[in-house]
Amino acid sequence: MGKPTGFIEYLRELPADRAPLERVRDWGEFHFHMPEDKLRTQGARCMDCGVPFCHTGTLISGMASGCPVNNLIPEWNDLVYRGLWKEALERLHKTNNFPEFTGRVCPAPCEGSCVLGINEPPVTIKNIEVSIIDKGWDEGWVKPEPPKVRTDKKIAVIGSGPAGLCAAAQLNKAGHTVTVFERADRPGGLLMYGIPNMKLDKKEVVLRRIEQLEAEGITFQCNTEVGVNFPAENLLKEFDAVVICTGATKPRDLPIEGRPLKGIHFAMEFLTANTKAVLDHHKNGSFISAEGKDVVIIGGGDTGTDCMGTSIRHGCKSLVQVEILPKPPLDRAKDNPWTEWPKVYKLDYGQEEVAAKFGDDPRVYVTTATKFEGDENGHVKAVHTVQVEWTKNEKGQFIPKSIPGTEKVLPAQLVLLAMGFLGPEQPLLDSLGVERDPRSNVKAEFEKYSTSIPGVFAAGDCRRGQSLVVWAFNEGRGAARECDRWLMGATDLP
């Protein structure tokens, strides 16, 4: 695939980003596109490796290795190298319903398992992917394709996030009539309100695809929360099957002294309100502002980074991100070999922006919060922290242990908790009566997706727990396949 000697002749190259101090003044996407000739050169680096681990989509050491939707990466790299963009788009859409989303927000486990990445920088798979789909939209190649024949089956999809959109798209392709229930005022779930606009543009990218799905016959019923203003018992009366795709939206809390103080918020509360304000031009409702405040973000990962990028755009006074884990190494450690996901240090967009404004990476490692301190008005004014060391307990498990003498006090008028999620919210699942697993997720076997109630399926984070968008795509497609098989006795869905 690509040019046989391309990986020897050409270096990895990525498109430039907008300058950090420029882009923090607005909410526009911060990536530029590369010229076509450079993209073709990057496609030429795909090395005809024989066994392309980039599209294996397996779990190794609990992390994704290769693409979970099994993108045919070497094939469309070769097609881009040869200038056959429309054919590349066809290959991409065979496995991925919405590559414009993954091409922007996926951490690219495909690149972590690229064979070239054993001893050289890997192929720029993610950038080529998003370039293919963006060119497809620009050229008018992406058009509504409603099914030619409709069945008499009606399906309800609960949740319009990544898993729900994929399930709806695939079931609609099979000819079923699909209604997607969304409790928010706009469809898209995590894609709409959980990821900031500068990372994934809502109007130009998300709503564009929603409008295409509507043109293909899918109905989105927003402001509808099943179990609240739509009785759960009506689902199986009005629909032939149900697919639950509600995500894992129950946040992990930090129950330390001072937690009830004002000014301490969960990350998604902060991000959702902000995106809503951006879309509504700050006219409707209120949002949590970081303007002029000392901000402390507790927790790392993409959510913490998104809180950082949002806070810096508000005009925060200072920012510190508290991370309980050690600082990752610059290169793979011996216990983190290829093809595992590389756990290495990187400066993501949010940290880059904060460093550009305040002079340094805002993260402090092996540190945990011990107490929130409030002022006379019951508002948080400081976060007390201590450094930790990771030691094994009597069961052989690594646990953090406080190091005396390392205590610090960080000024903070806004604290954002970005420590991950514990599972799906339970009221809907209680009202449906589906069985749960020990982690409170919907109990449904991977690759089968059927719950304890016949005709009810579950996919995405509500089934597997907090995970990547691309795993939600994998599960949404899989649940659609199994739902179609249950309804029709056989299925042609992949």
* pLDDT tens digit sequence for 62-90: 889 999 999 999 999 999 999 999 999 99
- Of 12, 63, 58, 68, whose CA–CA distance to 478 is shortest? 68
Whose tokens are 């899918």? That residue is 218
Least confident of 51-55, 122-126, 130-134: 51-55
pLDDT at 3: 86
pLDDT at position 6 over 70: yes
d(CA 462, CA 479): 13
pLDDT averaged over every residue in the chain: 95
**Pairing of the two strands 58-60 and 63-65:** antiparallel
Tell me the whole-structure pTM to 2 decimals.
0.94
Region of 21 (left: φ > 0; alpha: ψ -120 to 50; beta: rest) is alpha
pLDDT at 415: 98
pLDDT at 416: 98
Residue 285 confidence class, pLDDT cut points 50, 70, 90? low
pLDDT at position 118 over 70: yes
- Of 270, 262, 304, whose CA–CA distance to 419 is shortest? 304
In tens, the pLDDT along 148-201 reads: 999 999 999 999 999 999 999 999 999 999 999 999 999 999 999 999 999 999
Q: Are 296 and 320 in contact (CB under 8 A)?
A: yes
CATH class of the domain comprising 154-249+422-488: alpha beta
In tens, the pLDDT along 457-478 reads: 999 999 999 999 999 999 999 9
| Angle, CA of 413, 354 and 38, to the nearest 5° | 150
In tens, the pLDDT along 198-230 reads: 999 999 999 999 999 999 999 999 999 998 999
**Pairing of the two strands 318-322 and 363-364:** parallel
Residue 283 confidence class, pLDDT cut points 50, 70, 90? low
pLDDT at 423: 93
Residues of the chain with CATH 3.50.50.60: 154-249+422-488, 253-419
The partner residues of 409 in beta bridges, in order of sequence, read 384
User: Other C-beta atoms within 10 Å of 252: how many?
Assistant: 14
- Of 42, 46, 466, 28, whose CA–CA distance to 268 is shortest? 466
Average pLDDT of the residues in 107-133: 96
**Single-letter residue type at 358:** F
Residue 50 confidence class, pLDDT cut points 50, 70, 90? confident
Phi (first) and psi of residue 340, to 5 degrees? -65, 160
pLDDT at position 51 over 70: yes
The domain made up of 253-419 is a member of CATH 3.50.50.60: yes
pLDDT at 300: 86
In tens, the pLDDT along 404-416 reads: 999 999 999 999 9
pLDDT at position 444 over 70: yes
pLDDT at 286: 79
Domain 6-139: CATH architecture, name and number where available: Orthogonal Bundle (1.10)
pLDDT at 317: 98
Phi (first) and psi of residue 219, to 5 degrees? -100, 130
pLDDT at 175: 98
**pLDDT > 70 fraction of the chain, expressed in percent and rounded:** 99
Q: If you average pLDDT over each of 30-34, 48-52, 242-246, which comes out highest?
A: 242-246
